[in-house]
Structure 1
């Protein structure tokens, strides 16, 4: 949805610049239970939901 919104603004309005932001520590601050509940609305396979549930806790360098 965010990409659609950016596309709409860029094509319908005069734009001088576009900002790309990567929020560090996003998965540290988002409620993981809420994230899984929202994902379950769109994903039916419990194995995929389980895999997604492991990502926020993955130890990545």
Structure 2
């Protein structure tokens, strides 16, 4: 799993409009970037997952 695939999979965890491939969710758990969750979602990002997303996962925010 490349960095881009990890970021895409992490984004699919936090964005309800994106579908998560269960295989990617399991890989994120093995890498320590996600853990099993509740609230109807199978996985959610760990602190390490949020750090990986960092600026790369944020939407464009104008400075003004």
How does the TM-score come out when normalised to structure 1?
0.24
More strand per residue: 1 or 2?
2
Q: Which has the larger radius of gyration?
A: 1
More helix per residue: 1 or 2?
1
How does the TM-score come out when normalised to structure 2?
0.24
